[in-house]
Structure 1
Amino acid sequence: MNEMTQPPAATPSATEFDADPVPRLGWPVGVVSERLGIAAPTLRSWDRRHGVGPSLRTSGNHRRYTELDISRVRLMARLTAQGVPAQSAADSVLSMDAAAIVEHLESSPGPASGTPDSNRTIGARGAGGTGGAPALEDSAALVEAIVAAARALDPRTMAQLYRQVMRRSDVGRAWVEVFAPALRRVGDLWQEGRLGVQAEHLTSELLQSELRAVVRANRLRVAGSPVVLAGADDEQHHLPLLALEAELARNGVASLFLGPRVPAEALVSTLRETRPRAVFLWASLPRQRTEAFWQHLAVVDWPLEVVIGGPGWSEGIELPDGPVTLTRVADFTTAVRTLVSSPGGLSR
């Protein structure tokens, strides 16, 4: 019999963990095997090698699974089905409390294990770019899989997960639903001292490589006046810009990527030399409402749309009189739509 063929039982709630229906006896491995559709030898291997197994003992010293133990097994099966190595999956599962396990299981309903149903999880990647593709399912499980690979410092698995996500949907949805949450989770774990800085660096560096691969793969499709992509002069975060560059490339829009920490004078000089139709500026750190850059735009004598994104920008920014317009975008999808459809761009 296949190890993972039976549909999983309904995910228990946090209260069910507290009210275990058999608190004294628990569930034997055979019952758990039938309940989850996972072969008993696999369950015993996960217990012996990775510590994901029964936590109760009977008076006769027989080990039994609690409801929480069963949910740990279910989540481990889901992670390994996503391609996460067993030890990495176990480390991730064992680091969670009951509430976190429930949250992950309920936020990504589907088979507990086995090969993911491609008809259910793979979204359309039509020519419509960020519009029309269904949202990624199992996004919480994919985030957890990336975090587990970061814990294990496993670049091969992490790169495979990044590519898998981008095959399922466009870069925009991949960024919003999986990549950005995974980066935040890894960053939080690092700040809490539960993950080394090397794991954070590996996570971001590999994602940069995969996003740039998307740009290279679409290089022959891009055309027209380029959009300038830059971070504010003291902004260090540039992964959102890379994701934006990749999604614009998928939409056939040329871009000039300047990256983070671009001095205002250098940015204005670039604008004068290239005369783009639009420039996107990213800021996650707080910015002043009145900055020298805005006044430098007085030298612009052609229609230029300045698009600003990120939580750092202040309200009430004033531009000098002239052909420059200012557009503030609240999210990634809106940024892509604005830059694709801005004057001189490609209409979709």
Structure 2
Amino acid sequence: MSDNRAKPRPSADSLRAAGFDGVPAAMPELSWPVGAVSERLGIAAPTLRSWDRRHGVGPTHRTGGNHRRYSETDINRVTLMARLTAQGVPAQASADVIASMDDEAVERQLTASDGDPAGDVTAGADRTDPGSDGAGRSAGDGERDDTRAERRQARRGTGPGVAASTIVESIVSAAHQLDGPTLANLYRQTLRQREVGDAWTHVFAPSLRRIGDLWEGGRFGVESEHLASELLQSELRSVVRANRLRLAGPPVLLAGADEEHHHLPLVALEAELARHAVASLFFGPRMPTPALVEAMRRTTPPAVFLWASISRRRHEPFWTALDAVDWPMTVIVGGPGWPTDVRLDHDDIVLRQVDDFDAAVAALLEASGRTR
């Protein structure tokens, strides 16, 4: 039996809310959980949670179930946070700067093409106090100069205040976003702040391993790994160029074993040796044994370093080829590819096996008659 009673008409406000009367209903804003943002930006989820909890740079959107989610503007702010910390700006200082910017200013900063995202954003942070004498010293308050200098160093990535883990996270994030300028700046600042050996052991090698693991897990493309490696090689080579006029003495030889594809550890060694004014000849990866022995014969080096990351045999053709050597020389082998029981029976050659970067540098310096 039908109900013929008049039904109440919807109000104009309810029609507008439903999208009628020519007034479209507002579409809900898209938002993402922390895991999705972590995968999108290449920043570890614990780092995102830390930035939210400690520095207030995090999700501002809430779902109907009261779950916190990142909006696009939140993601922009997180991206800028990553870039600033990559430049060496402390996390809290980065957060303070971001908090002072509106959404449009954040977006403009992200699209800036100057390659130095920290430069303009933090420029005002280094201004001297009113009443200064123009040299950064406030009248009657000179004892604060050291504190200001330390803050400036930390902001610019030249001081000791930036943790290696923070730099690693920033490198991984920049590689994931294919952000070449930030990546190059990060490498450059790290090499200014740290010695090559420390930078390689605690920053660069962990970063490359992490990027490689993410690529193997399908989260990164191979383009991220290539970009990170190529830019790092370029910055390490700049260290060699900066010290080229200081290089002296017979060069040591640096090479990868035949069929060895990885060579960045050799580039890092070349850079560290250059800092100690030790000349080297870099032959790179996949150096055929006959060619390496011929290079040794023609240059009579005091030492040869041979790198291997893939598994090698205990009885290498290289050991037999060394019979042609008739001058005192040290052969140093490094990398996880070498067996632990490598032996060489030769009157003129000392064979040394090293386990880490510092040991390799020390052995090469000793063979060259240098000290650290």
Which residue matches 1:193? 218
Which residue matches 1:254? 279
How far residue 268 of structure 1 moved from its aligned partner, in angstroms, is 0.8
How far residue 149 of structure 1 moved from its aligned partner, in angstroms, is 1.0
Question: Aligned AA for 2:176?
Answer: R
Residues 277 and 80 of structure 1: CA distance in aligned 2, closer, same or farther (over 3 Å): same
Q: Equivalent residue of 1:189, what SS?
A: helix
Residues 233 and 112 of structure 1: CA distance in aligned 2, closer, same or farther (over 3 Å): same
Which residue matches 1:304? 329
Residues 217 and 188 of structure 1: CA distance in aligned 2, closer, same or farther (over 3 Å): same
Residues 112 and 148 of structure 1: CA distance in aligned 2, closer, same or farther (over 3 Å): same
Question: Aligned AA for 1:81?
Answer: L
| 1:54 is the counterpart of 2:43 | no
| 1:269 is the counterpart of 2:294 | yes
Residue number among 309, 324, 341 corresponding to 1:284 in the alignment: 309
| C-alpha distance in structure 2 between counterparts of 1:57 and 1:269, whole Å | 69
How far residue 57 of structure 1 moved from its aligned partner, in angstroms, is 5.1
- Using structure 2 for the length normalisation, give the TM-score: 0.64
Contact persistence 2:197–2:357 (CA under 8 A): yes
| C-alpha distance in structure 2 between counterparts of 1:331 and 1:261, whole Å | 21
Q: Equivalent residue of 2:311, what SS?
A: coil
| 1:112 is the counterpart of 2:115 | no
Residues 64 and 313 of structure 1: CA distance in aligned 2, closer, same or farther (over 3 Å): closer
| C-alpha distance in structure 2 between counterparts of 1:252 and 1:192, whole Å | 41
Residue number among 250, 253, 264 corresponding to 1:228 in the alignment: 253
How far residue 117 of structure 1 moved from its aligned partner, in angstroms, is 3.8
| C-alpha distance in structure 2 between counterparts of 1:137 and 1:176, whole Å | 16
Q: Pick the structure with greater CA Rg.
A: 2
| C-alpha distance in structure 2 between counterparts of 1:180 and 1:117, whole Å | 28
Q: Equivalent residue of 1:195, what SS?
A: coil
- Consecutive unaligned residues of structure 2, counting only runs of 5 or more, are 1-45, 70-74, 95-121, 123-149
Which residue matches 1:347? 371
Q: Equivalent residue of 2:327, what SS?
A: coil
Contact persistence 1:74–1:113 (CA under 8 A): no
| 1:160 is the counterpart of 2:163 | no
After the TM superposition, which parts of structure 1 deviate over 2 Å for at least 4 consecutive aligned residues? 54-59, 63-66, 72-81, 110-123, 315-318
Contact persistence 1:295–1:320 (CA under 8 A): no
Q: Equivalent residue of 1:257, what SS?
A: strand
| C-alpha distance in structure 2 between counterparts of 1:305 and 1:75, whole Å | 51
Question: Aligned AA for 1:166?
Answer: L
Superposed CA offset, 1:64-122 (max 9, x none): 869xxxxx9998675343247xxxxxxxxxxxxxxxxxxxxxxx9x7434369455664
- Using structure 1 for the length normalisation, give the TM-score: 0.68
Length, aligned pairs only = 265
Contact persistence 1:78–1:141 (CA under 8 A): no
Superposed CA offset, 1:218-264 (max 9, x none): 10011111110000011000000000000100111000000000111
Residues 197 and 186 of structure 1: CA distance in aligned 2, closer, same or farther (over 3 Å): same
| 1:175 is the counterpart of 2:155 | no
| C-alpha distance in structure 2 between counterparts of 1:76 and 1:228, whole Å | 43
Which residue matches 2:107? none
Contact persistence 1:253–1:345 (CA under 8 A): no
How far residue 205 of structure 1 moved from its aligned partner, in angstroms, is 0.7
Which residue matches 1:140? 165
How far residue 180 of structure 1 moved from its aligned partner, in angstroms, is 0.7
| C-alpha distance in structure 1 between counterparts of 2:265 and 2:327, whole Å | 27
Which residue matches 2:85? 82
Question: Aligned AA for 1:162?
Answer: Y
Q: What RMSD in Å do the two structures reach over aligned CA positions? A: 3.3
| C-alpha distance in structure 1 between counterparts of 2:188 and 2:236, whole Å | 9
How far residue 291 of structure 1 moved from its aligned partner, in angstroms, is 1.1
Superposed CA offset, 1:314-340 (max 9, x none): 132232332101111110011111111
Residues 157 and 313 of structure 1: CA distance in aligned 2, closer, same or farther (over 3 Å): same
Contact persistence 2:158–2:189 (CA under 8 A): no
Which residue matches 2:238? 213
- Consecutive unaligned residues of structure 1, counting only runs of 5 or more, are 1-13, 18-31, 44-51, 67-71, 85-107, 124-133
Q: Equivalent residue of 1:321, what SS?
A: coil
Q: Percentage identity across aligned positions? A: 50
| 1:204 is the counterpart of 2:226 | no
What is the correspondence of 1:16-31 to structure 2 with a 5 Å cutoff? none
